[in-house]
A and B are shown apart, each in its own frame.
Chain A
């Protein structure tokens, strides 16, 4: 038995969960699959006073398509997505992402909502949901709200969620049939956290091009110059690679200054970005 002592509640529904979270004070935490929290508990990096276990709540298990959005419950596991849960809506992107997260035994318990709320700078889902233009349905003790995935992570391991809030579901805009994506995750060992992760989604039908980079420093960020370049390229129908390469370079320079990147970081992120853009274009 390695974690410090904590109280444990398995709520009947989400309403009880957020009430308990609000009443539990500063050190109360939500537990989903526990695949990040579990190690942190065992290493005593965290010592919550109360764990509110969401893993049995049927309300968080939804997988459906409504109009032009897919709805993914926060409690859906990586393994369910690996087995195809969001494959249609994302033209295979979600399946690729899920199958690269840790290992099957971890994917069998780890959840997409838990991964987002944990806000690891190299977590797999935040950059992907940002690139998909997803929105999160959030429920707190005092009501519900909707939040763009790009507005979730404030700092490494820190979200913009209030203490009494939980992610209920993720609304993922369905990609058009002609949408293209690229996803390049660099790590030295299968299943490891990314050292660099670049995601590109180009959906001409929605006039959307999103490019997101995650690294071990800072938080996942949109790369605006590259996004702009890919969007205007879509309209003009040209395919001058030199303009795209220049936009990537501009983004890399900007983030290198902001994130104090080393020369190695620069070439690593440039490489993952370039490969992801090429995967989306070719």
Chain B
């Protein structure tokens, strides 16, 4: 057993873990944050994608001991984050999810794409989403949602605020 301390959504989580414990299982079973979903458990489906030190990472093929000391952000960790509020609203409006199983991973990738590649065209968004499998939507909604979020985000905080406020009034 190894003692690790990982900052999860701003809170330091200390635990004694076996070295073979994945970050995904650490989040779900030790932290009880079950928003991170496990699909394939060998790095193909992307459902378990979370942010580690602000970069997207597959939590199913990353050992918890290997990210000891890191800051992890899961789908539960975006309260009050204007970009994630925007992305969620766009996912909602563009029908970017049906069953929702792949959504936590999709949101993490969308968050990364909008910040890193705000000018990405649809072809680039599709390529960036290539590592996230969805069995329901046919991907069109997810691509539309990210393209829309990127466009609104690039237009500046006033536009984001206006967009979200208009939706909240409805």
The interface of chain A, by Cβ under 8 A from chain B, is: 1-8, 10, 31, 34-35, 38-39, 41-43, 51, 53, 55, 79, 102-106, 108-109, 189-191
Contacts and interface: CB of A to CB of B under 8 A. Distances in A.
B22 interface: yes
A17 to B, nearest CB: 14
Contact of A190 (B46, B62, B130): B130
Interface in B33-92: 41-44, 46, 49, 52, 55-58, 60-63, 65-66, 68
Interface in B1-52: 2, 18-22, 25, 41-44, 46, 49, 52
10 residue pairs, one from A and one from B, having the closest CB atoms: A103-B131, A38-B61, A8-B19, A39-B42, A190-B130, A105-B56, A108-B55, A3-B20, A39-B43, A105-B58
B62 A38 contact: yes
B151 interface: no
Interface size range on B against A: 20 to 34
20 contacts: A1-B22, A2-B41, A6-B20, A35-B58, A38-B58, A41-B20, A43-B42, A53-B66, A55-B66, A103-B131, A103-B132, A104-B109, A105-B55, A105-B58, A106-B43, A106-B58, A106-B131, A108-B52, A190-B130, A191-B130
Contact of B49 (A3, A6, A43, A105): A105
B127 A51 contact: no
Given A5-B18, A104-B131, A109 B57 contact: yes
Interface of chain A: mostly helix, strand, loop or mixed = loop
Given A35-B58, A103-B131, A189-B130, 14 more contacts: A1-B18, A1-B22, A2-B20, A31-B66, A34-B63, A34-B66, A38-B63, A39-B42, A42-B60, A103-B132, A104-B109, A105-B109, A108-B55, A191-B131
Contacts of A5: 18, 20
Contacts of A8: 2, 19, 63, 65
A34 B62 contact: yes
Of A4, A51, A109, most B-chain CB atoms within 10 Å: A109
Interface of B: 2, 18-22, 25, 41-44, 46, 49, 52, 55-58, 60-63, 65-66, 68, 108-109, 112, 126-128, 130-132
Contact of B43 (A7, A35, A189, A190): A35
Contact of A42 (B2, B41, B112): B41
B65 A53 contact: yes
Of A3, A4, A106, most B-chain CB atoms within 10 Å: A106
Of B20, B44, B46, B130, most A-chain CB atoms within 10 Å: B20
A197 to B, nearest CB: 18
Nearest to A109: B57
A38 B43 contact: yes
A53 B69 CA distance: 15
